[in-house]
Amino acid sequence: MGCTKISTPTCEQNNTFSMEFTNGTNDPYDLYINDLFQQIVEAKSKVTYTIPAGYWSAEVVQISGYTLYQTDKVFSGTYQSCTSYYIVF
């Protein structure tokens, strides 16, 4: 009998978690994670990101479709590696 190699999940090796961002509105939003622009999340769409475990923050800012003021939402938390979460805005 030989040695059995147990593989460590990538999320544990990299100390990351998964976050799905769902834009449930009819307008596009800019997505920022840890103060860095990531992409435009189009209306009625979703994107998933792998984020370093621990404290993180995200901000979504409405690009168009507003009357006077754009919608600006901030999310944050502290999460462990190898977990998955979702945010709907």
Give pLDDT tens digits along the chain (89 positions): 667 778 999 999 999 999 999 999 999 999 999 999 999 999 999 999 999 999 999 999 999 999 999 999 999 999 999 999 999 99
75 within a domain of the structure (yes/no): yes
4 within a domain of the structure (yes/no): no
41 within a domain of the structure (yes/no): yes
Q: Give the per-residue pLDDT at 11.
A: 97
Q: In terms of residue numbers, what domain contains 48?
A: 10-88
Q: What is the rounded CA–CA span in Å between residue 2 and residue 29?
A: 54
User: What's this model's pTM, rounded to 2 decimal places?
Assistant: 0.88
62 within a domain of the structure (yes/no): yes
Q: Give the per-residue pLDDT at 4.
A: 75
Q: What is the rounded CA–CA span in Å between residue 86 and residue 39?
A: 17
Number of domains in the chain: 1
